[in-house]
Structures are given as structure tokens and as C-alpha cells.
């Protein structure tokens, strides 16, 4: 979600009728009800994305077969997309709230990846378990240190405002892309591609297992809801003054394609949950490991 960027301006620069609280919290102008709805939907989508991983944590602890249920490439693709968002939050010098949210997403992904390897090596001990755990701890420390390092640097000028799980859109405009816009567009495109590609291995894993046992449907349901709300928040936002709707959509194309594309692939996974529901129910009544 992208809102008008005023840099070091103040609320008096906003058009008449703009909401004071939106300026106070985000430093942005919401000119009418459409902009306010865009803000609200974007915030709800953030909550959905932030809560999506908790059902899978619980499911993993209950079933103990997360390494069989989830594809490793699905997890790596997801963390890759969120890492691009984190990188973009620094390159675009976004608000601290954006950066902390991006850090949270990466930390949540790392925890899910750690659970994957925990159950994998718990059943099949390997000499690689210690190096992998060390790498995960190192990455975890680096991610936690990023916000602290960022606060020690010089204070930058204009910053973009908070948006949904996809954090990298740049200020739209009818003028040609600036260098910063090109970098943001490129990183956003890579992030969207990683989100899309991450679903294919999981679809394949479910198909080969003919089961969704060990996978929490709430994970995908919340992500689907978040992507739907995010897409609506972008479409409801008013273009900048003097900018056509076509130009606005062009600047947001990677993030719209990513969100709507992931929504389509998650719908396929939802169909798999319906097709394999009987298999999952019968499997959960049996021991997970042979005696």
C-alpha cells in the first residue's frame, strides 16, 4: 500500500478533510473515504499475515511431522520473499514500524524453518544438525541487530509509510521511474516471484503424499485473507494528483501480481485440503511413526 509521501511536511500540507490520526501515526494524508478504507484494509491484512504462522507452530508441536508435511523449498521461498521485503525497508528508508514488521516476518519464518529441521533431525540424527542450527542462530542475530544498526546511522529525509506484507512499493507518479523506484520495483518483483514459486513445491508435496496431515489450513487461510485485503487496499487508494489509473497500476504491478498470484495458488492448496481431508483424518488417528 502506498500513500502520498510528504517528507518533512506537516499536517497543514494535506488536503482539507484529511484525517489527523492517520497523519500522526503514519505521516500520510488520507483525502477521503477511499483512502481511509485503504488504510484500514492494509492494517487488517498486516494482522492476518502476522498471525498466520501461529497455527502452524501449534500444528507442528501436536503432530511432530512438520518435516514431512511442509516442503523445504516452500519455507525457503517464503523466507526469501520476506527477506527481500526487509532489504527493501532499508533501501527505501521506511518508517521504523515498517522495518520492525519486516523483521518480525523474517523471525517468524526462521522459527518455522528451525521447527522443520528440529523434527527432521530428531527422527534422523545427522552430523549436519549442529552447523545448520548455528547458521540459523547467526541469521537470527543478524536480523535482530539490523534495526539497532539502522538507528545509529544518519537520519534520512523522506520515508514511505506502512503497508501490508509486501512492503516495497514506491511513490507512484506519472513521471519516469527514478533510480530508487527502479531498485524498489526490481526487489518487489523478486519478492513476488519468490512468494509465487514457493507454493509450487508445497502443492507437489501434498500431491505426492496424497495428504495434508501436519499442515495447518489456518496458515493458508490467513495468508489468503491478507492478500485479498492487501490487493483491495491498493485498488481502493486514490492515484496521485495528475496521475492516471493506468500509471498507478503500472507502478504497483509486481505487488498486485504477487498478491493475486499467491491467492490463486493458495486456492489450489485449499482444494487439496478438501480432496485429501479424509486421508488426513484417518492418518491422524494412527501413530505418526511405526513402532
Identify the CA nearest to 266 among candidates 211, 204, 224, 225: 224
pLDDT at 272: 95
pLDDT at 199: 94
pLDDT at 1: 38
- Cβ burial, residue 27 (10 Å; 0-12/13-18/19+): buried
pLDDT at 238: 73
> Contact, 203 vs 269, CB < 8 A?
yes
What's the average pLDDT block by block, 10 residues per block, for the chain (291 residues)?
A: 44 62 68 81 88 92 88 92 82 63 87 89 62 53 51 42 41 56 79 91 94 93 92 80 72 80 94 85 50 38
Give the CB-side neighbour count of residue 269, counting CA atoms within 13 A. 31
pLDDT at 128: 53
pLDDT at 163: 40
Amino acid at each position: 500500500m502506498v500513500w502520498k509521501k510528504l517528507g518533512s511536511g506537516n499536517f497543514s500540507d494535506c488536503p482539507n478533510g484529511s484525517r489527523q490520526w492517520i497523519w500522526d501515526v503514519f505521516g500520510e494524508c488520507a483525502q477521503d473515504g477511499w483512502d481511509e478504507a485503504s488504510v484500514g484494509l492494509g492494517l487488517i491484512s498486516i494482522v492476518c499475515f502476522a498471525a498466520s504462522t501461529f497455527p502452524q507452530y501449534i500444528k507442528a508441536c501436536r503432530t511432530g511431522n512438520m518435516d514431512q508435511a511442509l516442503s523445504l523449498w516452500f519455507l525457503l521461498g517464503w523466507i526469501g520473499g520476506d527477506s527481500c521485503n526487509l532489504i527493501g525497508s532499508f533501501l527505501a528508508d521506511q518508517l521504523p514500524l515498517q522495518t520492525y514488521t519486516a523483521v518480525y516476518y523474517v523471525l517468524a519464518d526462521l522459527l518455522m524453518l528451525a521447527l522443520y529441521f528440529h523434527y527432521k533431525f530428531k527422527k534422523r540424527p545427522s552430523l549436519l544438525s549442529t552447523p545448520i542450527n548455528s547458521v540459523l542462530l547467526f541469521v537470527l542475530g543478524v536480523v535482530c541487530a539490523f534495526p539497532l544498526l539502522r538507528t545509529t546511522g544518519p537520519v534520512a529525509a523522506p520515508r514511505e509509510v506502512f503497508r501490508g506484507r509486501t512492503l516495497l512499493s514506491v511513490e507512484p507518479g506519472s513521471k519516469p521511474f527514478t533510480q530508487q523506484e527502479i531498485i524498489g520495483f526490481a526487489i518487489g518483483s523478486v519478492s513476488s516471484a519468490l512468494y509465487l514459486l514457493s507454493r509450487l513445491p508445497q502443492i507437489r508435496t501434498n500431491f505426492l503424499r496424497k495428504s495434508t496431515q501436519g499442515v495447518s489450513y489456518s496458515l493458508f487461510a490467513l495468508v489468503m485473507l491478507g492478500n485479498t485485503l492487501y490487493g483491495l487496499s491498493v485498488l481502493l487508494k486514490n492515484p496521485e494528483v495528475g496521475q492516471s489509473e493506468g500509471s498507478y497500476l503500472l507502478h504497483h504491478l509486481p505487488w498486485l501480481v504477487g498478491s493475486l498470484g499467491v491467492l490463486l495458488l493458495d486456492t489450489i492448496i485449499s482444494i487439496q485440503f478438501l480432496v485429501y481431508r479424509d486421508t488426513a483424518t484417518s492418518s491422524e488417528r494412527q501413530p505418526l511413526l511405526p513402532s
